[in-house]
């Protein structure tokens, strides 16, 4: 019937709780503010703007969307492959509504998105779909959970789904043996450049935040 078709959410994920959530927003803003003042960033500015000599204000360049979260399964109300199976997974049912700690291990920036990568625990991996890493060429052999991330902002006209794809792309480049050009030791960690506007800040100390496993019907 009509009701059955509406019983699956837009997506499942971990939703970051306050006040850690606000702190992560601040950390991300501070990082963007520092990044666009670095000489190394200015040297590669044409990754972000075609206009010569133009400055880029990264804080304005990226717009944040909705509550901070780490998507596990995008269901699109049941239209995505495996949505129903995911919702029926015993682990999903068991952990639904529970709070656990997410560990953010890196911040990354591309001309399209800014995000934080999430290092999932064994228990959290029980909620991770087996095919999440299969979407990007060269990324399918990455460990399960590699795509886990929090979208912190998107450039104009870019959909948040892009953030995970950008992360997988950086990880695929890393796996291919390219270390990235170590650009700077920052207070938060080491900043590396992977070409084509791709920047990764490996955090010295992971940022930990409580998060609730739930879903959005929106």
Give the binding site for ligand A2P (CB under 6 A). Answer: 10-11, 71, 74, 151, 159-161, 163-164
For the record, the structure tokens of 133 come out as 């890493």
Residue 195 to residue 181: CA distance in whole angstroms: 9
Minimum Å distance from CB 163 to ligand A2P? 4
By beta-carbon proximity to ligand A2P, the closer residue of 77 and 96 is: 77
Please report how many Cα atoms fall inside a 13 Å half-sphere around the Cα of residue 57, on the Cβ side.
Answer: 3
Please give the Cα distance from 47 to 42 (Å, whole number).
10
Q: Is 69 a catalytic residue?
A: yes
Q: Which of 69, 73, 147, 198 is labelled catalytic? A: 69
Least separation in angstroms between CB 164 and ligand A2P: 5
Q: CA-CA distance, 131 to 86, in Å (whole number)?
A: 11
Q: Are 67 and 180 in contact (CB under 8 A)?
A: no
From the list 14, 128, 136, 149, the catalytic residue is 149
Closest approach, Cβ 217 to ligand A2P, in A, equals: 11
Determine whether 44 is an active site residue: no
> Judged by CB, which is closer to ligand A2P: 142, or 183?
142
| Identity of the residue, 37 or 76, whose beta carbon is nearer to ligand A2P in the bound complex | 76
CA distance 37 to 59: 12
Residues identified as active-site: 69, 149
């Amino acid at each position: 019937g009509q009701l059955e078709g509406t019983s699956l959410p837009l997506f499942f994920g971990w939703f970051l709780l306050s006040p850690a959530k606000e702190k992560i927003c601040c950390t991300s803003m501070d990082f963007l503010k520092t990044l666009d003042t670095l000489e190394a960033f200015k040297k590669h500015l044409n990754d972000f703007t075609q206009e010569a000599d133009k400055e880029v204000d990264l804080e304005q360049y990226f717009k944040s969307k909705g509550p901070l979260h780490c998507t596990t399964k995008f269901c699109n109300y049941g239209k995505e492959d495996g949505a129903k199976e995911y919702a029926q997974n015993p682990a999903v049912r068991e952990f639904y509504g529970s709070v656990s700690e997410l560990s953010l291990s890196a911040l990354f920036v591309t001309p399209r998105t800014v995000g934080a990568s999430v290092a999932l625990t064994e228990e959290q991996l029980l909620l991770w779909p087996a095919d999440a890493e299969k979407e990007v060429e060269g990324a399918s052999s990455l460990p399960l959970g590699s795509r886990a991330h929090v979208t912190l902002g998107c450039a104009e006209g870019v959909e948040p789904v892009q953030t995970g794809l950008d992360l997988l792309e950086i990880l695929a480049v890393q796996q291919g043996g390219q270390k990235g050009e170590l650009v700077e030791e920052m207070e938060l960690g080491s900043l590396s450049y992977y070409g084509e506007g791709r920047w990764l800040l490996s955090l010295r100390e992971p940022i930990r935040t409580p998060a609730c496993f739930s879903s959005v019907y929106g």
